[in-house]
Each structure stands twice: as structure tokens, then as C-alpha cells.
Chain A
């Protein structure tokens, strides 16, 4: 199930400065069968990330040397690996800047072990994304056909997105969000539906996650492709 394609357990990189949390979370995740490497500050975290292949990053926001947001941005320069931010402050500034920096999701400390593991699983599932059945079923074209929206073409089978012929690198969440739009072209999708279908959240989900992911997606596929329908949600223009 790991994107690295290796046979072993999914490998996680945990960057957290609080020693107790770092140790206990690492031990907990190991109990759940993940291979965990841990770092106590941002720079060590970045080194570890560059040295090995990781299927998912769990980053604390407040870190010495290089903070979680900076680290997230640095990782995003070269990788689309899923990133889960952990913030103890939980105020909108932390959440928004984390998501803007390219994180796929965030949790506020203290987080229940069960919740943390569920979020990690959900993110890994998105990353190891197998083509969804809906596009093939709903699309009148053959299953292997590319979905084309203006200069954007999406291959729902090969999970490739091209803009004007150039391939676009999308993070797993962005890709899944785009596919959700692509199977419902021209239809307004509200934030709750997107939260449920893409992030596996119920009503307790934070709709800013959706807004910020849409923003990131727009930067990559063109700002006009996804239209905001005020008070309702978003839709993909044909």
C-alpha cells in the first residue's frame, strides 16, 4: 500500500520536538505496524526525509531550527508525499499556514491515538490511490479515455494530469480532489461533500482544509478551472 512501492510496512517520518510525544507517538505507531523514524527538530527532519523514502510525514508546527511550516514547504519543493501537521496551538493562523504550505491535513494536539491512526490511514489510502470506479461508470466514454477540461486532461486510470500537454505534479489529496471534481463536471460540490469524499470527515471536519486545497490545486491547474460558487462550494468548469 505504500507509494514507495517497497514491500515493507509503510514508513512514516515523525518530526516532533517534545521528547515524550515523539517517543510515545513513535512507539504507538510502531504498535500499529508502521516503520517510524523520528526527528526532534526541523533540520534533522529534513535530513532524514532526504536520506530515506517515506510514505507519510507527521510534522509538529512549532519546531526548533526549522519550523514545521518551513519544513513542509521545503519537502513540497521536491515531493508530493502526504503530510499531516500536528499543531498544539490550533488557532487559525497555524492551521491555515500549515495547509498553505502544502500539508494535506492537520490534527490538533492532544490527539487520540485512534484519531491519529485513522488520519494516517486515510492519507495513505489517498496516496496509494487506485482508480475509482465512478469515472468509468459515469463517463459515457470508454474506461481508458482521458477526461478533458479545456487545456487540462486527466487520466483517471494512470492518474496522470496534464496541462497544455505538460504533466502536472499533484499531491495525493490534490489529485483526489481533482478526480472528485472530474467525475462531477459542472456540478457544484459543497465543502461538506468534499470533506466526506476526499478527507473522510464527518460534520466535525474543518472546511478550511477544502478551501486551501482548492487554492493549491488552482495554482497548479489554472485559476479559472475551478469556480467558487459563493455560499455553496466549488465546481469544475467543462
Chain B
């Protein structure tokens, strides 16, 4: 595929390269046509003048011969000349007539009255006519040759800005895919518009990277500041002697810990700093394991042995959050179905609230009278993580009741 792409790129007729080549060709054609018409015109006029001079000389010779010995030899027939052309002759002048009745063999006629006798001569304009035709042919040939050189040359020269533009597009795509170190690295020596857009893209990537880095650093610092006391609290609570109060403390510490982790996860997802670490994953196995780790009751059905290329840790987060959510807000039995690259989690409770279905999960809004049971972050995290691994998570209610969450993982790009 990568081998074919340069060919496909070359054949893309909408490419700037071919547009520039077409423009060059059009300009070359117009210029050649104008120059050609001019040259043709000038040469034609010049050949007429030469023809008239030749005919004039011929006429002088005929007049001299006539005056000398009355010879009327080599004279042409007056009858062939249209009467209108003869008028200058009758008025005492010399007439010229370019006779192109036979286009391939034109003649130049000339005549004047000498001693009362109209003398008329004709010289062939055939050679002039043929050299004019040859000139036309030459002009066309030279124009074609020029086009044959200019068009590929234009396409070739257009390849340079084209290549720079493609580099801009490639870099922008890489940045969009998350490679924030990608830069076009134009040195600005060209000083043209492409250098300008390159510099603009580079500076955009730079500020994006700085913003993302500071966001990441901030989240990491917040994580450190929050996790350190939570960890102290956790291990200290573990050391307390068992009892009712200890259980209360441990439970609240657990809730606090989950809340902190969820908030950190949400803020990392919001910062857009999360990247999927994709590997081929046996879906059934991973889903079964994450359901097992939640410690909650759920039946897992796996159809076939599906393999998906995804980030198993993020998939685990999504499945666990969906199962926990189903137990917290729905009613058992909770069923998990793995079919192909689709994972369906459904319960048999009242289903998702309408507001959630229309507006999506709102943080810290758990709907109705369920406050205090969870923080309403689970679904938001599941959606965010689904976005990171390029999966689609749709929430709906089953017609016969119960919430249905469908996670569609992207089909494996590399293999099935």
C-alpha cells in the first residue's frame, strides 16, 4: 500500500502539480499562438511586398522590351484580371492584383499603360506561399516542442512547493495523532506562503505541547499531593484493631481513595494527555478478569474467541466501571456479553434516566434520589476511556427494561 501511494499521488489529477502544469501549458499555448499569428501576418505582408516588387520589375522589363522593339512577348491576358482591379491602370497608375483563385498556386499580377497599350504581367507567388506554409508548420512544431519541455518542467518545479505542502499536511496529521514533538522545521529562508504556514503549524504545535505538558505536570502534582495523604490514611487504617468503628473508617477511606483516583483519571482524560497502549488482547479473557476483579456478581458470556487490538488496562477500566454502575444503579442479574469486538453490559433495573440518555453522563450527578451512592464519575470515565482507545460506547435502555451499555471496539487495524 505504501509502495503504491506515490503513484496514486502522482496520478491525482487534482494535485497542485497538474494544475500548475495545465496553467503553464495554457500560457505557453496563448503566447505561441499570438507570436505565431504575428509572424504569419508579417511574413505574408512581406511576401506580398516582395511579389509586387518582382511583378514591378517584370513589368519594367516588359515595358522596356515593348518600347524597344514592340515585343508583346510574355505578356498575360488582361481578360483574366477583374475589372475593378484594373482601375488604377486606366487612371495612369500601376495596378497589382494578388490572384489566389488557386490557393496552392497564387500569382501576383501587375500592369500599366505604356504608350497607350495596357501591359500586364504575372509572377508566381508559389514559392512564397510554400515558405509561408513551412513557417506555419515550424511555428506549430516549435510550440509543441516548447510545451513538451515546459509542461514536465512546470510539473517538476511545482513538485518542490508540493513536497513542502505535503510535509506540512503530514506533520499536522502526526500532531493530531498525538506526536507533539513533530515539527515541520522550515527555516524560513524561502520566505513564501508555505514557509509562513509551516511556521504557523510549528508554533501551534509548540503552544499545544507546552499547554499539554503544564497540564500533565499539574495533574501529576495534584495526584502526588492527594495520593500521599490518602496512602498514609489507608495504611494507618489497615493497622487499626478490627471493630465496628474501624470498619466505618476503612470504608470511608476506601470511598475517598476511589474518589481521588476517579477525579485524577477524569482530569487526565480531560487534559487529552492519555494515549492508548495497544496490543492484541483476547477479549473474553480480559473482560472475565475485570468482572472478577470487581468482586460483583455478573454472568459473562463469550461468543467465540475474539481478539481485539486495544489497551487492556483501559478496557478493564471501562468494563469494571460499567459493571459497578450496573450494580449500583440497576438491579441484578447483570449480564456481560462479548460478541466479536462488541462488549454489552446490561442489568435489569429501571434503566438509565432520560436526562442521562439525552445529555450524556454529568459528573457528580447520579440522578434522582441516589445521591451518596457513588459519585457519578464512573460512566464519564468509561466514556472518556472509550474515546482514548477509539471505541464507541452507547448507552440505551432495553425495551423490556434495564440499562444496556454497548462498547464497540474498533476492528483490528493490523490483523483480525
Contacts and interface: CB of A to CB of B under 8 A. Distances in A.
Interface of A: 18, 20-21, 24-25, 27-28, 31, 62, 88-91, 93-94, 108-113, 190-192, 202-204, 206-208, 231-232
Contact of B231 (A109, A202, A206): A109
B146 interface: no
A147 to B, nearest CB: 28
A191 B312 CA distance: 12
B176 interface: no
A21 B235 contact: yes
24 contacts: A18-B232, A20-B233, A20-B235, A27-B239, A28-B235, A31-B239, A88-B224, A89-B223, A91-B219, A91-B220, A108-B227, A109-B227, A109-B230, A110-B227, A110-B257, A111-B231, A190-B279, A192-B279, A203-B281, A203-B285, A203-B313, A207-B277, A231-B280, A232-B280
A128 B307 CA distance: 36
Given A89-B224, A109-B228, A24 B236 contact: yes
Interface of B: 216, 219-221, 223-224, 227-236, 238-239, 257, 277, 279-281, 285-286, 289-290, 293, 312-313, 316, 414
B167 to A, nearest CB: 25
Contacts of A28: 235, 238-239
Contacts of B221: 89
A28 B257 CA distance: 19
Given A203-B285, A207-B279, A25 B235 contact: yes
A110 B289 contact: no
Contacts of B233: 20
Contacts of A113: 234-235, 238
B316 A88 contact: no
Nearest to B224: A88
A153 B258 CA distance: 48
Contacts of B239: 24, 27-28, 31
B279 A110 contact: no
A112 B238 CA distance: 9
Given A88-B224, A88-B228, A89-B224, A203 B316 contact: yes
A206 B239 CA distance: 29
A222 B361 CA distance: 52
A24 B235 contact: yes
A93 B220 CA distance: 10
Contacts of A232: 280
A161 to B, nearest CB: 28
A203 B286 CA distance: 6
A203 B312 contact: yes
Nearest to B261: A110
Main secondary structure, interface of B, reads: helix
Contacts of A208: 277
Contacts of A25: 235
A64 to B, nearest CB: 14
Nearest to A20: B232
A204 B231 contact: no
Nearest to A22: B232
B227 to A, nearest CB: 4
A95 to B, nearest CB: 11
A3 to B, nearest CB: 26
B238 A90 contact: no
Given A20-B229, A21-B232, A109-B231, 4 more contacts: A90-B220, A91-B220, A204-B316, A232-B280
Nearest to B236: A24
B295 to A, nearest CB: 13
A192 B278 CA distance: 12
Nearest to B222: A89
A108 B229 CA distance: 13
Contacts of A206: 313
Given A88-B223, A203-B312, A204-B316, A110 B230 contact: yes
Contacts of A21: 228, 231-232, 235
A208 B281 CA distance: 16
A57 to B, nearest CB: 18
A20 B231 CA distance: 9
Nearest to A27: B239
Nearest to B237: A24
Complex A-B, nearest 7 residue pairs according to Cβ-Cβ distance, in ascending order: A20-B232, A110-B231, A24-B235, A88-B227, A89-B220, A88-B224, A203-B312
Contacts of A191: 279
Given A21-B228, A28-B239, A202-B289, A110 B313 contact: no
Nearest to A116: B235
A112 B236 contact: no
Contacts of A203: 281, 285-286, 289-290, 312-313, 316
A61 B289 CA distance: 30
A116 B153 CA distance: 70
Contacts of A207: 277, 279
B11 to A, nearest CB: 31
Contacts of A231: 280, 414
Contact of B234 (A88, A112, A204): A112
Contact of A24 (B223, B230, B232, B289): B232
Contacts of A108: 227
B89 to A, nearest CB: 98
Nearest to B256: A110
